[in-house]
Amino acid sequence: MVILHGLFGSSDNWLTLGRRFAEDGYRVVLTDLRNHGLSPHSNEFNLATMASDVAELLEQQPSGKKFLMGHSLGGKVGMQLMVQNQFALDGLIVADIAPRAYTTKHTDVISALKSVDADHLKSRKDVENQLAIIIHDFGVRQWLMKSLYWKEKDQLDWRFNLEVIAENMDVATQATEPPAPLSTPTLFLKGANSDYINQHDMATINRFFSNARIETIPNAGHWLHAENPDATFEKAQEFLMALR
């Protein structure tokens, strides 16, 4: 079971749920998408390339059924993998994203990250104070700061490739609609308080994914795996158990 994080995230975002899936008998692979976490930085950053990265990763895994779970950008990559038909998954879970195109939602995040003076980051508190000028949500600031690391003894930096991601922000908003309906079992998880999957999207999902289920995670927004991890795990587990 390969789990993919969202834009500006990392594999650490799914560590808690990944452990729960592992305890349930899955061989779990938490991976960093290119330009995120500990994965290499690259000037090539698009859905097709990331889907190819994931296909290569899946091919390297031991024999057996293969499942993929992706949140937001990670969900887009999972759907793109199916569109490109590079790997035959036994099941796909898409967390709070639809196959349609989106308008850019992260311009404020980019502005905040670029406003941070990277040459004078001496403490995490300094970073948070600079981010808070634009990003007023404490949870979002804390989530972004998970990607901070000590580049030098007295120098903080971001693990994600801010420059390349900022230049390619449309990557997370592109449509991943297949040319023909796909029959791979697919579970779409929608945060009850999120607008990333709306009523119109549900009809679109059913049109492009002929073997899809759509489940709502209560008391959760876009970061459903952090806001309601129990319900997220239970819905995913129920779906996967039927395919094992």
Per-residue pLDDT of the chain (244 residues; tens, 9 = 90+): 999 999 999 999 999 999 999 999 999 999 999 999 999 999 999 999 999 999 999 999 999 999 999 999 999 999 999 999 878 899 999 999 999 999 877 788 999 999 887 666 678 888 999 999 999 988 889 889 999 998 888 788 899 999 999 999 889 899 999 988 999 999 999 999 999 999 999 999 999 999 999 999 999 999 999 999 999 999 999 999 999 8
CATH class given for the domain over 2-102+174-241? alpha beta
CATH 3.40.50.1820 range(s) for the chain read 2-102+174-241
Q: Which position among 44, 56, 59, 163 bears the catalytic label?
A: 163
Active site residue 200: no
Q: What is the dihedral of CA 174, 179, 181, 182, to 10 degrees?
A: -70
Question: Rounded to whole angstroms, how far apart are CA atoms 136 and 124?
Answer: 16
Active site residue 222: yes
Token pair listed for 76: 């887009």
Neighbours of 186 (CB within 10 A): 24
Q: pTM of the full predicted structure? A: 0.94
As a three-state string, the secondary structure of 184-221 is CCEEEEEECCCCCCCHHHHHHHHHHECCEEEEEECCCC
Helix (H) or strand (E) holding 172: none
Active site residue 10: no
Q: Which position among 5, 71, 222, 225 bears the catalytic label?
A: 222
Q: Which position among 10, 11, 39, 72 bears the catalytic label?
A: 72
